[in-house]
């Protein structure tokens, strides 16, 4: 059974990510989460193309971000994404920190549900393909 359900990426905000206050505009954090989520899902060979090939879409149905400190231009950020639930939904927790100091900048989570592409029906239990990709046993 796998226990390393996380991935980390590093990035530095670009100039075009700044708002008029010279800090990263709050909406760009969603983009940073997406980059970390894709790195995490790729680790299990179940990124968006593989999801589609398996017959399932995984829309985000809930997202929460808690802004602790602002990020600025050129600051090196570390974004950690970790799968914390996979039975009935896919919940990923995120932590954005300053890569140099470890200071917390943002904490977030996203919740995705499986939707069968052919029928457009939402599943109330995650499909077996997710369990297989994660290397976990069915409950």
The string of pLDDT tens digits covering residues 97-123 is 999 999 999 999 999 999 999 999 999
Confidence band (pLDDT; 50, 70, 90) for 92?
Answer: very high
Question: What is the reported pLDDT for 137?
Answer: 81
Distances (CA, A) of 87 to 74, 105, 111: 38, 29, 12
Reduced to 3 states (helix: H, G, I; strand: E, B; else coil), residue 42 is helix
pLDDT tens-digit series, residues 78-88: 999 999 999 99
Residue 2 has pLDDT above 70, yes or no: no
* CB contact at 8 A, 57 and 71: no
Q: Which two tokens stand for residue 39?
A: 């790195």
pLDDT tens-digit series, residues 6-51: 999 999 999 999 999 999 999 999 999 999 999 999 999 999 999 9
Question: What is the reported pLDDT for 1?
Answer: 44
């Amino acid at each position: 059974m796998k226990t390393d359900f996380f991935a980390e990426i590093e990035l530095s905000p670009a100039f075009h990510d700044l708002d008029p206050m010279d800090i990263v505009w709050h909406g760009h954090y969603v983009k940073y989460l997406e980059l970390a989520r894709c790195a995490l899902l790729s680790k299990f060979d179940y990124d968006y193309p593989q999801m589609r090939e398996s017959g399932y879409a995984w829309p985000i149905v809930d997202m929460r971000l808690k802004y602790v400190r602002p990020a600025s231009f050129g600051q090196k950020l570390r974004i950690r994404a970790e799968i914390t639930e996979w039975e009935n939904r896919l919940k990923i927790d995120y932590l954005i920190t300053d890569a140099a100091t470890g200071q917390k900048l943002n904490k977030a989570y996203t919740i995705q549900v499986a939707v069968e592409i052919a029928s457009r029906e939402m599943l109330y239990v995650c499909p077996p393909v997710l369990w297989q990709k994660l290397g976990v046993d069915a409950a």
